[in-house]
Amino acid sequence: MNCIFCEIIKGNADASLIYKNDKVTAFMDLYPINKGHVLVVPNEHHMKFTNLSEGVPSEMFSAAQKILKAIEKTDIACEGANIFLCDGEVAGQDVMHSHLHIAPRFSGDGYRMGFSGASPYESTRDQLDNTAKLIKEEL
């Protein structure tokens, strides 16, 4: 298996590293949507977010918060940020090693982030309650 993120974590591939601990590694995205676009990746290789070991998802978000605080102290344009994870090819995952994006945003940057296909109609409370029930039964 040839995983570029695993190679970066092992130090075998080039990356602009900014943070590393025993659970996660963070480095600059090679194809940034804006300056300061960082990826936080688990040190263990898993494609799916649901397969990550306990404690790793929280560490990813904790690292993301630290890094975003640091970005906000720089002169990098960052009026806000998108912090997102694409889980699976169908959701836009491009590298099959789970990773969290931190993408600084500023007004006029020209990007749109969101669910373009979201229903224009508000769901009924019954619909939402039924879906909530399906999920809660598995928690």
Only one of the segments 20-28, 43-51, 98-106, 121-129 lies at the binding site for Zn ion (rule: CB under 5 A); that segment is 43-51
CA 129 and chain centroid, separation: 28
Kindly tell me which of 1 and 135 has the beta carbon lying closer to Zn ion: 1
Q: Which of 128, 48, 42 is nearest to 90 (CA)?
A: 48
CA 31 and chain centroid, separation: 14
Strands, E, within 29-137: which ranges?
38-42, 80-84, 100-105
Strands, E, within 43-135: which ranges?
80-84, 100-105
Contacts with Zn ion, 53-92, as mask; x by CB under 5 A: ----------------------------------------
- From the list 32, 35, 44, 45, which residue makes contact with Zn ion (rule: CB under 5 A)? 45
Residue nearest to Zn ion (CB): 3
Which residues here bind Zn ion, judged by CB under 5 A?
3, 5-6, 45, 97
